[in-house]
Structure 1
């Protein structure tokens, strides 16, 4: 058991309200939860991002995250660059962009790399996490996607948007960790429901976990109980 991870778990969790149906009331609740647990980053859909950034500006340890090309990744590169610019101007300190999944599957690798690289260049020092939607990729496509993300200069390769109905697995994380360059971190997202799932993926090489805020709060309660029982031994 990784006691250090349990103690610092909140600093490895990005919380989100990025479903189409999420409301302003849910965004407000996420902000309260983010402040309570000091999660490392919080995400909303772009229409709520200026509000989210303003609410978190007094919390230096909680980043505001923005989603780009979300959830399909099929926006034009110009659109993704414009979205990135707007989100950065709104106060975002991290960007999670969706790769052009269909272009990758069509083997238009140059387009995919340039699409990512232009967002990375727009973001400058703000870290970009590239969502490759592993649920839709075979092993060869997954490997290629991770290599392209690495070449394009992104900070993270991320497993999914969470909109696919296939939970991310530790095996997928291992494949991503093997394929990506060593300096590129791994973020898991999609179907993360338990502390044990997180611990398994951390063992496989995962650095960050994207979780819906209600589930994240439940996992934090589970972690606190687990940590308490271990410290009493």
Structure 2
């Protein structure tokens, strides 16, 4: 009789062990599901434009060429006024707000209001492009920290009043760029423009029509 009782007890202990193991596995499964749900759906990895020689880097590292191309693209879009600066400039600031820090966006909005009040935007058409031969160089981007950079853009700024050219200037714009991962849906670059790092510098003086009106940049 004791032989059967021992077998039953052994069976019960084995069942209890299996139940405990199932509980442990269930807890581990819940932890794994929770970690999977909380993990990011998208991971942005920055690669330099020229991949002919390959690239090995930490996933969070942003290469200087990427920072430069981002700064140039956003700044060029901010200064693209195809019809009328009175409406185009505020519209550009609004549509690009996801790529601007709050401080920079506020400064740009104040600048737009001041220039509009001074009559510097009415019926102005504006566009900028890189100075030929002065694109990206090794010294175009200064790494301030892992999350911030200073980008120097050598650009040609052209302005027209209706169809008449009123301003052409070759200017070096020192811009601040920071890491900005707050909203990947609206800003897949993970970077933001933080306006100027210093006062823009005129590279060359170009002939200007007599009706020129001064602007901040």
- TM-score by length of structure 1 reads 0.22
Rg larger in structure = 2
- TM-score by length of structure 2 reads 0.23
Higher share in helix = 1
Higher share in strand = 2
